[in-house]
Amino acid sequence: MAPDPDDDAPRRLRRAEAVLARRLDSLAVVVEDLHDAHNIDAVVRTSEALGIQRVYRIESDPGEVVHPKVTQGAHRWLTLTRYHDPEACLAQVRADGYQVWAADVAPGARPLQQMELPDKLAVCVGSELEGLTPALREAADARFYLPMVGFTGSLNVSVTAAIVLWELTRRLRERLGAAGDLSEEHKAALRDDWYRRLARTRAQQVSFPAFVDDPPEPLFDDEPPPERRSLEASRGKA
């Protein structure tokens, strides 16, 4: 018999339910062969923080690895798939139902704010040095850019991605009238994985999976995490 999902449920499971409730499947991210692998991981971390579930990584170097110090573990909670072939990646993105937008500053690209959102959107960002490869740029359904109004003509790719994704998640949630759009089936699959990952002790490895079929109520706590509150408190005493 599953545990009663009340306030006595483990706090981490209730927080996981809050994350699930605010996860987006209608927006995905494609990161192609960034010159600095740490920038890929920064985009991964931003995607997770903003509630984007799917990230596709295209890497010409099969030896590339995730850098946990940069992602801060964000990759563990994502549906993260890796490809060495842009065409194979795009085929999967389209099979998953996404329209493809490419970040690009070449003629023909439109300002982001003028773009009308499709039902499902995959945003592609590319190398800091050369941008997206021609194959991906030409295959995109649309191309966009972030207008600059200062002397500086460009931003670091991870900064660009953060601004673009923040704006798109805001617009998508406004259109949805809800914080997230995962199907119940998708939530159930993620819940099964996440609950097991959240178990830190042997006892939790036994007890946490018991909540999967009868999950606790979400705990929506938007306060800064305890470690951040402690940091701010220590600064205030300085």
pLDDT at 193: 96
| Residue in 192, 196, 174, 172 with CA at minimum distance from that of residue 184 | 192
Domains of the chain: 11-18+185-237 (no CATH), 24-176 (3.40.1280.10)
Angstrom distance (rounded) from CA 97 to CA 121: 8
User: pLDDT value at position 31?
Assistant: 92
- Do the beta carbons of residue 25 and residue 117 sit within 8 Å? no
Cα dihedral 161/218/222/25 (nearest 10):
10
**Can you give the pLDDT of all 238 residues of the chain as single tens digits?**
344 444 457 899 999 999 999 999 999 999 987 666 678 888 999 999 999 999 999 887 655 555 555 555 788 999 999 998 889 999 999 999 999 999 998 889 999 999 999 999 999 998 766 678 888 889 999 999 999 999 988 888 899 999 999 999 999 999 999 999 999 999 999 999 999 999 999 999 999 999 999 999 999 976 655 555 555 555 555 4
Q: Cα dist. 226→66, 88, 178, 223 in Å?
A: 26, 42, 27, 9
> What pLDDT shows up at residue 146?
94
pLDDT at site 2: 46
Confidence at residue 11, expressed as pLDDT on a 0 to 100 scale: 92
Residue 35: per-residue pLDDT: 62
Burial classification of residue 9, based on how many CB atoms lie within 10 Å of its CB (0-12 exposed, 13-18 middle, 19 or more buried): buried
Total-model pTM: 0.84
- Taking a C-beta distance cutoff of 8 angstroms, is the pair 15, 221 a contact? yes
pLDDT of res. 229: 54
